[in-house]
Structure 1
Amino acid sequence: MLAVTEVNGCAACSYQHTKMALRQGMSNEEISSFLSGDDTFIKSEEAKAIMFAQHFADSKGLPARYAYDAVVKEYGQERASIILSALQVILAGNMYGIPYSAFKSRLQGQTYEDSSLSYELGMLSGGIICLPIALVHGIARGFIEPSNIRFDKRLTEEPS
């Protein structure tokens, strides 16, 4: 979560993920390392998952097929699917957390450089309207098409 938050830059998510990490016993140094994009505290057995998480966030949820295949090869299909689902939830949370953070900052007299009041209010109110529709869509799609991953069709080969 911290690695994805570092990529997406969501202040509200960073705060919540940091609280969770502290509760799970991570040190301040470990948390700072993840939030700054440093790899000092990445455990070797978690490295591919964390790098995939950052790639997933960088690609706005459309990772390269070879990157996901590497996660499947490392962790197996079931764990890779769990990793993917967690990343999709985090990405969806960031879609609401970023405008929430910007709006909250605006109320305190500081505006985000690339944000506007209409964007912030539109995303927050639109989320309330769209969330029930998205939930029904997700459930229906689960019956029709079990795969929950889309790949960037432009990235078909692993870079050399």
Structure 2
Amino acid sequence: MFYWKPEQEVYLIEQVLFKKKYTIREFYRALYKGLHTFKDLRMGKKSGQLSNHFVERIMLAVTEVNGCEVCSYAHTKIALEQGMDEKEIKGLLSGTASDIPEDEMLAILFAQHYADTKGNPTEESWNRILAAYGEQTALGILGATRLIMAGNIYGLAMSALKSRIKGRPVKGFSFIYEAGMLISAVPFLPAAAIHAFILKRMQSPMIQFEPEKAGQGTLTN
């Protein structure tokens, strides 16, 4: 649960925080994947295929799965400033999908599935996104999902460190982990940017599937 106060209004958000914890290796993996598909997100927004509200719904949905406190603050603020309904924001951050537009529901479910599997969605789930939205929009959805995943992983460590400084250490987190994750961003960011650039030049597939993940599980709407 947290409060966000824009000027005189106070919004109460019900959310379970710190639901996941990622390794340094998983952070690097999420970072280069996010950079690999960042251009697709930007193109999707520029073309009008992905509205600002659509992108924020994806980011709020992924943030709910991971339970990142600082990302919840930031994207609640962005969503409210963009004119999104307060009830819908609360619903997304508490795992309720009743107010999501029907044509965006499958994308939101995919984003949640992507986060829940720590970036290892099933091939079947991705094929459903391709069939429903077409390749260009699907890649934009993937780009938004991956970008907030990387942000969440970093944000979880930042949130835990802030909580520790306030005398409320998060169970399962340590100072060494929190500091190490935050410091790792310094060498990781340029390395991940180079990694993503090489993948682009080699025309590597935008998404790959682990053998044990392929065909396991489905998205339901």
TM-score by length of 2: 0.69
The residue that corresponds to 1:90 in the other structure is 148
Give, in angstroms, the shift of residue 27 of structure 1: 2.0
Report the equivalent of 1:103.
161
Matches within 5 A, 1:21-100: 21-100=79-158
- The residue aligned with 2:174 is 116
Which structure 2 residue ranges, 5 or more long, are not aligned? Answer: 1-58
CA distance in structure 2 between the aligned counterparts of 1:152 and 1:6, rounded to whole angstroms = 25
Residue 186 of structure 2 is matched in structure 1 by: 128
- How far off is 1:153 after superposition? 2.2
Which whole-Å deviations, capped at 9, do the CAs of 1:41-81 have from their partners, x for residues lacking one? 01110010000000000011110000010001000000001
Other-structure match for 1:9 = 67
Task: Assess if the C-alpha contact under 8 Å between 1:64 and 1:153 holds in 2.
Answer: no
Aligned residue-pair number: 160
TM-score normalized by the length of structure 1: 0.95
Q: 1:152 Cα deviation (Å)?
A: 3.5
Write 1 or 2 for the structure with the bigger share of helix: 1
Moved over 6 A (4+): none
* Structure-1 separation of matches of 2:134 and 2:85: 29
For 2:93 and 2:133, locate their aligned partners in 1 and report how far apart those are by CA, in whole Å: 24
User: Which structure exhibits the higher relative contact order, with contacts defined as CA atoms closer than 8 Å and separated by 6 or more residues?
Assistant: 2
**CA-atom RMSD, angstroms?**
1.3
Corresponding position: 1:146 with 2:193 = no
Please state how far the C-alpha of 1:95 moved relative to its aligned partner. 1.6
Distance apart, 1:158 and its partner CA: 5.9
Point out where structure 1 has 5 or more consecutive residues left out of the alignment: none
Q: Percent identity?
A: 43
